[in-house]
């Protein structure tokens, strides 16, 4: 990963991209593991994602307590981030969003699984975490480390975990990976919903081996990420 200044700028940009793509609205957030200390992560103060600037980025310990005294308001649901970083050393960026297209798959028995080649990065079926199972009647927000750790356990070694009646959490190896997984999980959900409607419930999903097959363009794409550049450009950002 790059240096701290670059990562902070990239994280602020990622907030704006997620807003521009409709993955997040006034709510939702993206974090990144601290490039110099894997026991810390970076996350904005409580702001609408489309307004996030580099100055808004704060440092947190993995228990989601702030590293420095800072009176600015903080996201209540930051345990989503700390708990996933704690459970998954392979993960460097986490998105929480309420993308509307994903919600039907959180409240029905219809699984959200990849049907689209660009959604291969979401891996296989996204598990559904129901806060009610362990915590009973709550406001559904992941507001404690107990909630966060239970959510992280449901994510397992996957990339997307759905949150019943709420949204989802997405885990990526980098900011760009977490953003693109969030975008394509949402697009995949939208297209799957359409396909289920016109297909009378019969849909061809990606085969398990297609999800894990190595990317044929990997070498060609070294040092260049066309999708990430497009997302930046669409959101009017140059880094
Ligand atoms: Mn939420």
What CATH code is carried by the domain that includes residue 195? Answer: 3.40.225.10
Q: Confirm whether 46 is domain-assigned.
A: yes
What pairs with residue 30 in β-bridges? 95
Structure confidence at residue 209 (pLDDT): 95
Q: What six digits make up the tokens of 148?
A: 């966060």
- Per the listing, tokens 């260049």 go with 224
pLDDT at 1 over 60: no
Provide the domain limits for residue 208: 4-231
Count of CB atoms within 10 A of residue 55's CB? Answer: 10
Q: What is the 3-state secondary structure (H, E, C) of the chain?
A: CCCHHHHHHHHHHHHHHHHHCCCCCCCCEEEEECCCCCCEEEEECCCCHHHCCHHHEEEEECCCCECCCCCCCCCCCCHHHHHHHHHCCCCCEEEEECCHHHHHHHCCCCCCCCCCHHHHHHCCCCCEECHHHHHCCCCCCCCCHHHHHHHHHHHCCCCEEEECCCEEEEEECCHHHHHHHHHHHHHHHHHHHHHHHHCCCCCCCCCHHHHHCCCCCCCCCCCCCHHHHHHHHHCCCCC
Residue 135 Cα to ligand 1 middle (Å):
16
Q: Confirm whether 72 is domain-assigned.
A: yes
Q: What six digits make up the tokens of 103?
A: 């919600």
- By C-alpha distance, which of 39, 46, 43, 48 is closest to 8? 43
Alpha-carbon distance 66 to 40, whole Å? 9
What pairs with residue 61 in β-bridges? 40
Mean pLDDT, the chain, integer = 94
Q: Confirm whether 236 is domain-assigned.
A: no
Alpha-carbon distance 97 to 82, whole Å? 16
Structure confidence at residue 220 (pLDDT): 56
Please tell me which residue in 10, 21, 77, 86 is annotated as part of the active site. 77
Q: Confirm whether 238 is domain-assigned.
A: no
Signed CA dihedral, 38, 40, 46, 51: sign only? negative
Q: Confirm whether 131 is domain-assigned.
A: yes
pLDDT at 170 over 80: yes
* Least confident segment among 71-75, 85-89, 91-95, 221-225: 221-225
Residue 162 Cα to ligand 1 middle (Å):
11
Our count of domains for the chain comes to 1
pLDDT band at 201 (very low <50, low <70, confident <90, very high): confident
Residue 222 Cα to ligand 1 middle (Å):
35
Structure confidence at residue 221 (pLDDT): 58
Structure confidence at residue 185 (pLDDT): 97
Structure confidence at residue 133 (pLDDT): 98
User: What's the pTM?
Assistant: 0.95
Q: Are 83 and 149 in contact (CB under 8 A)?
A: yes
Residue 200 Cα to ligand 1 middle (Å):
32
pLDDT band at 189 (very low <50, low <70, confident <90, very high): very high
pLDDT at 237 over 60: yes
* Least confident segment among 69-78, 134-143, 217-226: 217-226
Residue 58 Cα to ligand 1 middle (Å):
19
pLDDT band at 136 (very low <50, low <70, confident <90, very high): very high
Q: Confirm whether 239 is domain-assigned.
A: no
pLDDT at 223 over 60: no
Residue 224 Cα to ligand 1 middle (Å):
32
- Per the listing, tokens 């345990």 go with 79
Residue 105 Cα to ligand 1 middle (Å):
16
Q: Confirm whether 111 is domain-assigned.
A: yes
Average pLDDT over residues 191-210: 94
Residue 157 Cα to ligand 1 middle (Å):
21
pLDDT band at 134 (very low <50, low <70, confident <90, very high): very high
Residue 85 Cα to ligand 1 middle (Å):
17
Q: Confirm whether 90 is domain-assigned.
A: yes
pLDDT at 239 over 90: no
Structure confidence at residue 224 (pLDDT): 65
pLDDT at 176 over 90: yes
pLDDT at 219 over 60: no
226 vs 57, higher pLDDT:
57
Catalytic-residue membership of 77: yes
- Per the listing, tokens 């986490």 go with 94
């Amino acid at each position: 990963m790059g240096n701290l200044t670059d990562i902070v700028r990239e994280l602020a940009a990622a907030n704006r991209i997620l807003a521009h793509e409709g993955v997040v609205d006034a709510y939702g957030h993206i974090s990144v593991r601290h490039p110099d200390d894997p026991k810390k992560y970076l996350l904005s103060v409580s702001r609408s994602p489309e307004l996030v600037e580099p100055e808004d980025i704060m440092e947190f310990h993995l228990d989601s307590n702030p590293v420095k005294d800072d009176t600015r308001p903080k996201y209540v649901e930051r345990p989503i981030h700390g708990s996933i970083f704690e459970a998954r050393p392979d993960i460097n960026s986490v998105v929480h969003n309420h993308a509307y297209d994903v919600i039907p798959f959180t409240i029905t028995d219809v699984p959200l699984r990849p049907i689209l080649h660009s959604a291969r990065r979401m891996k296989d079926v996204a598990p559904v975490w129901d806060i009610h199972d362990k915590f009973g009647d709550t406001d559904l927000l992941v507001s404690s480390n107990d909630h966060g750790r239970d959510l992280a356990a449901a994510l397992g070694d996957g990339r997307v975990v759905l949150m019943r009646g709420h949204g989802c959490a997405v885990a990526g190896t980098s900011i760009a990976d977490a953003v693109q997984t969030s975008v394509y999980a949402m697009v995949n959900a939208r297209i799957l919903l359409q396909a289920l409607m016109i297909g009378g419930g019969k849909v061809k999903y990606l085969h398990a081996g297609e999800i894990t097959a190595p990317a044929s363009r990997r070498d060609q794409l070294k040092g260049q990420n066309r999708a990430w550049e497009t997302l930046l450009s669409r959101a009017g950002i140059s880094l």
